[in-house]
A and B are shown apart, each in its own frame.
Chain A
């Protein structure tokens, strides 16, 4: 027998004798680890999908020659192939398309030159019979699809299906199935519909033009790119996509770490409780000669024994959760940034290792304070319960107050630093949370002194005993209240942020979408495809009775020196312009400058991320080469986190020589009902527009569609919030149940002295209810502060979006709705158990 085997036995038996508490502690650790791991896996999965997609389809290309929006003349291709530095050149035409049969499965329509592709991307032809290749080249509107995708969609070779590209409906025949051997390539190609380059040009309205040319360059001297094009390194292209989503992924990771922080509080609470509960045993062990060091190590070992299985469960749970979450992350990236096909999640060992390290590390860190405290007190003090209670009483609790206020001040100081980094923002948030937790025990005492009289008045003896129980067990109740209020406040803070964001987007949509009817070519709202309306269609629609005023717009993606940016081209009235919400610049002064093409507008997020201000110039690639444009104003805009440039249509036409428009905004005459005009427009489209798939929506419907996208992009944040609430719920359950179970003997004495079952049950439930009330009340200011930090610091530093609407203060009451019922539920089991245990038995057992 080793010298400390009995010591270990004495300590480990505690956990076996309290299986429910041990299980809940394990669950708290597991849940915290699961959330962080799932988010990390989902982020990794999404990026993995990006890598796979680009690798699968770019093959061994070293560079890409990117054309302007609308493509580059295809004559550049033969010219490039003659350039000595170019070893291989492969033309690509690419755009988005979808089939009404599979609305949930948008396709990336890629036109390839199969003959030149064979060298760079042999997988395209590796499983095809030469006859099939010939079909693709010779028969119009034939396409290849990955065999797995075809099976998923229920398509077979020879099937014809409708395909909408460039706003036009077509019929496409599935000519062959691709089955590359490399599984990575298979996953990367899941969303691709491969057609011959000429077919793609026709379907996407790019006859005679190419989207890009993939190159393998051998010589160190790069060829000079033709005017209007840009030569980019292939890896830079991928990097720029990854960089676009960095803030989003970082924010997600940070929010998941917030869930882990809440989990840490729960772990801290569990370990503190196990130590506090065994103070007497610790005193006895110390009195028997167990050294402080041995005790400290023992407690850390205990924590490790909890951490290892808890983390293992958490990792498994994280993988399961990650599978669902990767879909949400991919969808959000689709909605906010660029199209990303969803691929199945492969648990990344690095993510799992990170999760394991965090779970075990967080548990050990959370154990340090109670372990330290347990080992620094003298055995005589440890044997005295009242000493630990008085330790937290007001006269001696100033130390915790000072620590709390110091941490809060440090957090505030971090926010005032000129460096606007997101990491500092989250550090400040963490300090705020931990600092507030230190104030909870003192706050609990204050609240109980205020509640003493009303509780006595309304609940009589039970009320008085319940208040007394909270106060006199402050070493346990204080920590539980702190943990609960932190958990509830975090859920509340995230809720406030989501609410403020949604309200802001609603206000912004109301201001920005000022036309009555919107018309666009069909396609998913979130993609950045570039189909144009036919001029004759526009003319027809303008003549419909009730159409008072018409505005035009189109959107495109530009590869600029500032990265990939969205360009919005508008032809609008002064009245609509005045509706925009300006962060910098006066609409009255700006209107003539915008209208005359002397100034462009940018979104707030672009200004924030790139440090741009009014008066600066930015260079944009035009068919005539790079041109400087002056920034006239900065707009509040919530549609593109990557940044948005808004340009007058005339200015665009001048530089790009392109008159196309993709959507129309119609203002209806006052004496015409909007619905009637919508119907008339639909009828006109049905009879006159040939092959054009137009979507005609009232302002209200478009607004709803936009809000639906918003809700989709926030689905993952809501999920994280929900997980935070679940962590909180189990944490509270652990803490409060533990408090009540520990007082079993005390309650038995109450029963022996004459407290009835009902009265005892009421005492227990009232006591946990009081703890819930305290935590709920403390969570209000803390949740509000967290919300403010998330809204004005974290969100702004992540995305550069100012949220204009303050959250509804009524939402704060949610904290009580979460905390009190949770606390009451936590009280029910011990209340039931105590009420149904014979006091004689309880006294004998104790």
Chain B
């Protein structure tokens, strides 16, 4: 039996004003993402992939259309409510890691728990376990700039998962890493997401993930098109 969709994108349009010109990025985009599944979104640079993730997470607002996560419409919500929703239900992994430079590895990972007032001993234990799982045991007190790119992305993964969100958004998480490290990171992400039964939506150029994802979408001319795997690849 298929689970109800965790994420629905209904007629999403988004455009930016560039000088006198209006640049349409997304145009009446429609899509649904099932809970517990992995979806890969591919597309050319500038096709609007990051914009789409920002709309899904509520960081940005669509010009028209509706974003529904877990049956809750984020569209029309105040910025504050969107933020609180994101804080609790979404984990974000960026291409450039975006760790807080002035927080240590452990502090970066505990940060979402603190934001959600979930700093209970079991959750702390879970955070420690995550640190172990991402292979950073012993580096808890290190600052981000002491870590390699792969290590930083491991911290970012642990940070995105520590509060057990149902939706994980990843924006080219391996784009800044070598192939070997990228593969390790991918395995880690898939493993941990599966472990949490979370939905993973990943914007990627990685063929490997595209092959392993449950669904594959192509973002082209502002539309998200479910791609035939072989064609897309």
- Listed in ascending order, the chain A residues whose CB lies under 8 Å from chain B are 383-386, 389, 460-461, 464, 468-469, 472-473, 746, 749-758, 838-840, 843
User: B59 touching A472 by the CB < 8 A rule?
Assistant: no
Stretch of B38-46, B86-94, B173-181, B188-196 contacting A (4+ beta carbons < 8 Å)? B86-94
Also in contact, A749 and B80, with CB within 8 A (given A385-B143, A464-B114, A840-B60): no
Complex CA–CA separation, A844 to B98 (angstroms):
11
Residues of chain B in range 63-81 having any CB-CB distance to chain A below 8 Å: 79-80
Complex CA–CA separation, A464 to B101 (angstroms):
16
Also in contact, A389 and B98, with CB within 8 A (given A461-B115, A753-B112): no
CB distance from B136 to the nearest CB of A (A): 16
User: A843 touching B98 by the CB < 8 A rule?
Assistant: yes
Which residues on B sit within 8 Å (CB–CB) of A756?
A: 79-80, 83-84
User: A754 touching B102 by the CB < 8 A rule?
Assistant: no
Contact of B145 among A384, A460, A746, A750 (CB under 8 A): A384
User: A755 touching B115 by the CB < 8 A rule?
Assistant: yes
Contact of B102 among A389, A461, A840 (CB under 8 A): A389
Given contacts A752-B92, A752-B94, 17 further A-B contacts (CB under 8 A): A383-B145, A384-B145, A384-B146, A386-B144, A468-B103, A468-B107, A746-B100, A749-B98, A753-B92, A753-B159, A754-B83, A755-B83, A756-B83, A756-B84, A757-B80, A840-B54, A840-B59
A-B contacts counted at CB < 8 A amount to 75
User: B83 touching A749 by the CB < 8 A rule?
Assistant: no
Complex CA–CA separation, A200 to B154 (angstroms):
98
Complex CA–CA separation, A461 to B113 (angstroms):
11
User: A754 touching B98 by the CB < 8 A rule?
Assistant: no
A-contact bits for B32-66, CB 8 A (1 contact / 0 none):
00000000000000000001001001011000000
Which residues on B sit within 8 Å (CB–CB) of A746?
A: 100-102
A-contact bits for B147-168, CB 8 A (1 contact / 0 none):
0000000000001000000000
Which residues on A sit within 8 Å (CB–CB) of B79?
A: 756-757
Which residues on B sit within 8 Å (CB–CB) of A468?
A: 102-103, 107
Nearest A-chain residue to B81, judged by Cβ: A756
Which residues on B sit within 8 Å (CB–CB) of A752?
A: 57, 59, 92, 94, 98
Complex CA–CA separation, A460 to B115 (angstroms):
10
30 contacts between A and B (CB under 8 A): A383-B145, A385-B102, A385-B143, A464-B114, A468-B102, A468-B103, A468-B107, A473-B102, A746-B102, A749-B99, A749-B100, A752-B94, A752-B98, A753-B87, A753-B112, A753-B115, A754-B83, A754-B84, A754-B87, A754-B88, A754-B90, A754-B112, A754-B116, A755-B87, A756-B80, A756-B83, A758-B80, A840-B51, A840-B54, A843-B98
Also in contact, A386 and B146, with CB within 8 A (given A461-B115, A746-B101, A840-B54): yes
Complex CA–CA separation, A604 to B84 (angstroms):
71
Which residues on B sit within 8 Å (CB–CB) of A472?
A: 102-103
- Listed in ascending order, the chain B residues whose CB lies under 8 Å from chain A are 51, 54, 57, 59-60, 79-80, 83-84, 86-88, 90, 92, 94, 98-103, 107, 111-112, 114-117, 143-146, 159
Complex CA–CA separation, A749 to B87 (angstroms):
12
Complex CA–CA separation, A839 to B80 (angstroms):
13
User: A839 touching B59 by the CB < 8 A rule?
Assistant: yes
CB distance from B81 to the nearest CB of A (A): 9
Which residues on A sit within 8 Å (CB–CB) of B117?
A: 460-461
Also in contact, A754 and B143, with CB within 8 A (given A472-B103, A838-B59, A838-B60): no
Complex CA–CA separation, A746 to B111 (angstroms):
13
CB distance from A720 to the nearest CB of B (A): 39
Which residues on A sit within 8 Å (CB–CB) of B90?
A: 754
CB distance from B160 to the nearest CB of A (A): 9
Which residues on B sit within 8 Å (CB–CB) of A383?
A: 145
Contact of B115 among A749, A754, A843 (CB under 8 A): A754
Also in contact, A386 and B143, with CB within 8 A (given A755-B83, A756-B80, A838-B59): yes
Nearest B-chain residue to A844, judged by Cβ: B50
Which residues on A sit within 8 Å (CB–CB) of B87?
A: 753-755
Complex CA–CA separation, A752 to B159 (angstroms):
12
Give the top 6 A-B pairs by smallest Cβ distance, nearest first: A754-B87, A386-B143, A472-B102, A756-B83, A840-B54, A749-B98
Which residues on A sit within 8 Å (CB–CB) of B80?
A: 756-758
Query: Which of B51, B98, B100, B112 gathers most chain A CB within 10 Å?
Result: B100
Complex CA–CA separation, A396 to B216 (angstroms):
53
Complex CA–CA separation, A840 to B51 (angstroms):
9
User: A461 touching B83 by the CB < 8 A rule?
Assistant: no
Complex CA–CA separation, A751 to B80 (angstroms):
10
User: B83 touching A385 by the CB < 8 A rule?
Assistant: no
Complex CA–CA separation, A386 to B143 (angstroms):
6
Complex CA–CA separation, A469 to B107 (angstroms):
12
Which residues on B sit within 8 Å (CB–CB) of A385?
A: 101-102, 143, 145
User: B114 touching A461 by the CB < 8 A rule?
Assistant: yes
